[in-house]
Amino acid sequence: MKISEEECQIGELTDSNLAIALRLLRESGYVILESVLPRNLVEELQTAFNQLLMPNMENQQKDSNWNRRGGCHALYGMPFMHPLVIENSLGLQIIEEAMGKDIWTLLPYHTNTTFPGAGMQHIHRDTQHLFPELPYALPPTMIILHIPLIDFNESNGSTQVWPGTHLITDIDSDASQSGQLEERAKSMPSARINMPAGSLVVRDMRVWHRGTPNRTQTVRTMTSIVYFRQLHRFPQHLTHLASIPQAAVDLMSERAQHLCRYNPIE
């Protein structure tokens, strides 16, 4: 969906656009806000991530089993820690309405990257239903926020999704590995997430999806930050999370620090 320049500048959707975004997330499992980040920031991020990704690609090319997909973790500095990336108010407005004001996330976030020559990926979900034995889908507990750093199109491997599949419950947890999703998806409509660089994708992580072939010579990458619903006293007890340097914390707003409250500080 397209939003106004004013909404982008103030970082807040109108009531009507928020209602549309929430309906799309609820019914289709994802919503796209087109071209909401400044182009200069997107280009800066793309250059910075490519500097991290290219050595990884060169090393992985030596492995005959490499499927030309992967990514890297963001560094604790600029432009990776820019507020429009780690606490994008437009994305958070939708996510908080869907999962509550007390959502949380973890750093470092990572990229979802398809390198030149990548083929078709298998259909999969990023997470399962919280109570898979129930015959109906509960509200989301995990939502991912993507920012494409290059225009996504049919040639460079834009993600293929099956709208509404986050609501499907009669499928085994190992359906991706057993081929059940591939077979069932043959009779279901799908869509390609083609969008300009600097858009936002807010996606229920239960939606069936896959990466498609990158037939270009350009790395296709996007940032990926997962947000979680607060569940009772989870995750207060977690002790194995990555530590955030104090210098990185100093770059973060009070809101961003609250979102990342379960990362220890070193």
Please give the Cα distance from 48 to 74 (Å, whole number).
Answer: 9
Note the pLDDT of residue 65: 64
Supply the mean pLDDT for the chain: 92
Helix 15-27 / helix 89-99 crossing angle, nearest 10 deg: 60
| pLDDT-above-70 percentage for the chain | 90
The SS3 assignment for 192 reads strand
Residues 6+ apart with CB under 8 A from 68: 60, 114, 115, 116, 117, 118, 119, 214
Please give the Cα distance from 24 to 1 (Å, whole number).
Answer: 10
Note the pLDDT of residue 170: 87
When pLDDT is cut at 50, 70 and 90, the band that residue 171 belongs to is: confident
Total H helices, total E strands in the chain: 9, 10
Which phi and psi angles does 76 have, rounded to 5°? -90, 65
In the chain, where are the structural domains located? 5-259
In this predicted structure, the answer to whether residue 241 has a pLDDT above a threshold of 70 is: yes
Neighbours of 170 (CB within 10 A): 8
Alpha-carbon dihedral angle through residues 85, 263, 74, 70, given to the nearest 10 degrees: -110
Q: Which residue has the tokens 């790395």?
A: 219
Q: Which of 4, 9, 6 is nearest to 20 (CA)?
A: 4
Instruction: Taking residues 178-204, report their average pLDDT.
Output: 93
The SS3 assignment for 180 reads helix
Please give the Cα distance from 68 to 188 (Å, whole number).
Answer: 27
In this predicted structure, the answer to whether residue 178 has a pLDDT above a threshold of 80 is: no
5-259, which class in CATH? mainly beta
